[in-house]
Amino acid sequence: MATWDLLRDVWFGLIGVLLAGYSVLDGFDLGVGALLPFLAKTEDEKRTLIGAIGPVWDGNEVWLLAGGGALFAAFPMAYATVFSGFYLALMLVLFSLILRAVSLEFRAHDPARKGLWETAFVGGSALPALLFGVALGNVVVGVPIDARSEFAGTFFTLLRPLPLAFGLLGLCAFLMHGAAYAALKSEGPLLARARKTERVLAIAFAAAFALSFVAVLFYLPAAVRSAPAWVFSLVVWLSLVLFAASSKQGKDGRAMVFSSVAFLGLWGMIGAIHYPNLVRATDPALSLTVANASSSALTLKVMLIIALVGMPVVIGYTIFAFRVFKGKVRPDSEGY
């Protein structure tokens, strides 16, 4: 049993790692997508931004599939309750991701409907960036769950203050991360605009974080006693300050690092206040936790072997690919 408990905790952490990896990687291309009309004023600038994410967005998105698959495999009860319970919200995410995935390819090669595909790309990037936070906020603050572990609310249950604050926070974080990546890959007026946007978004991030912070203290008073949560929130504040400073000094690479660390701080903080829950229930006795929602010890062990063998290789060639495409992007670079 002790091994089983350990495996469950390890998987709680690993799913956190996969989701954090997803936010750090796909976060910047969702952010770039949502910011496209604000950052890029000319077709050349649009081409630069799209060229910057073109070769990497697909690999980035796999982190979501890996996280979802790992949740299914390690905690099938939580996967089933959330995915069936948040049906319409997740359908919106799904429709967005589908349209977004094809829209870059189609924007380039379906000139008759270029405007339509660009809108799909921008909307399909912004909506998930907002909804991921709302969904996360709900499992953290707690949702009505019945004795059969089924979600007992409606679509509107999902739109409560804390989840909405988390949604806003997620959106700001994705946008800020996107602006940082845009700065890293661009030159000239686009670069200047991206850096300016970075600072505006850092302020928005700080405001949304403060709002979420208050909401957590109000709705989840027990969180006050979590020392790790305080440490992680400090990490978030610190990386925000360093992010803004790096942006001001024109150190775009460093800004990118700090906006990534801010994400890690957020995930650490959420993990600290959420553990051992996977889906908190309004009635705490019915919450889905690492103990009552997990797969068997054998499945968790097999999965751990898969992760330990597979993920280092993934990280290795992902770094290789980012190196291949490193550097500033020009509108005439090899692309769509």
Partner 1 sequence: MDAVFLARLQFGLIAGFHFLFPPTTLGLSLIVVIVETLYMRTKDEAYKQLSVYLVKILGTVFVMGVATGIALEFAFGNNWAAYSRTVGDIFGAPLAAEAVFSFFLESVFLGILVFGRNRVSPKTYRFSAFLVFFGAHLSGLWIIIANSWMQTPAGFRMEGGRAVLDNFWQAALNPSTVIRYVHTILGGWITGALVAMAVAAWLLLKGRAVEKAALLMKTSLAVFTAAAVLQLGSGHAHSIQVTRTQPEKMAAFEALWETRDGAPFTVFGIPDEKNERTLLAVRIPKMLSLLVYFDPKGRVLGLSEFRKEERPPVLLPFAGYHVMILLGLAFILMAAAGVWLQAKRKIVSNRAYLKLLLFAVPLPFLANETGWIAAEVGRQPWAVFKILRTSEAVSAVVPAGNILFSILVFAVIYALIGAAGLGVILRTIRGGPGEAAAEAKKGDV
Hey, which residues between 112 and 151 contact partner 1 (CB under 8 A)? 113, 117, 148-151
Instruction: Please give the residues from 317 up to 336 whose contact with partner 1 meets the rule CB under 8 A.
Output: 317-318, 321, 324-325, 331-336
Q: Burial of 69 by CB count in 10 Å (0-12 exposed, 13-18 middle, 19+ buried)?
A: middle
Using the rule CB under 8 A, which residue among 6, 13, 42, 98 binds partner 1?
98
Applying CB under 8 A, does 42 fall inside the site for partner 1? no
CB of 30 to partner 1, least distance (A): 14
C-alpha dihedral over 118, 173, 271, 313, to 10 degrees? 60
Q: Give strand ranges (E) for 13-162.
A: none
For partner 1, give the closer residue by CB, 231 or 298.
298
The verdict on 235 binding partner 1 (CB under 8 A) reads no
Is residue 225 a contact point for partner 1 (CB under 8 A)?
A: no
Residues in the chain: 336
| CB proximity list for 2: less than 8 A, separation 6 or greater | none
Distance of closest approach, residue 92 Cβ to partner 1, in angstroms: 9
Looking at 55-63, 159-167, 176-184, 213-221, which segment touches partner 1 (CB under 8 A)? 55-63
d(CA 286, CA 299): 24
Q: What is the distance between the alpha carbons of residues 164 and 172, in angstroms, rounded to a whole number? A: 12
CB of 89 to partner 1, least distance (A): 11
Packing angle, helices 188-219 and 2-39, rounded to 10: 140
What's the min distance (Å) between Cβ of 46 and partner 1?
8
Nearer to partner 1, 114 or 254 (CB): 114
Closer to partner 1 at the Cβ: 224 or 302?
302
Q: Which of residues 238-297 bind partner 1 (CB under 8 A)?
A: 295-296
Q: What are phi and psi of 289, to 5 degrees?
A: -120, 175
C-alpha to C-alpha distance for 12 and 135, rounded to whole angstroms = 17
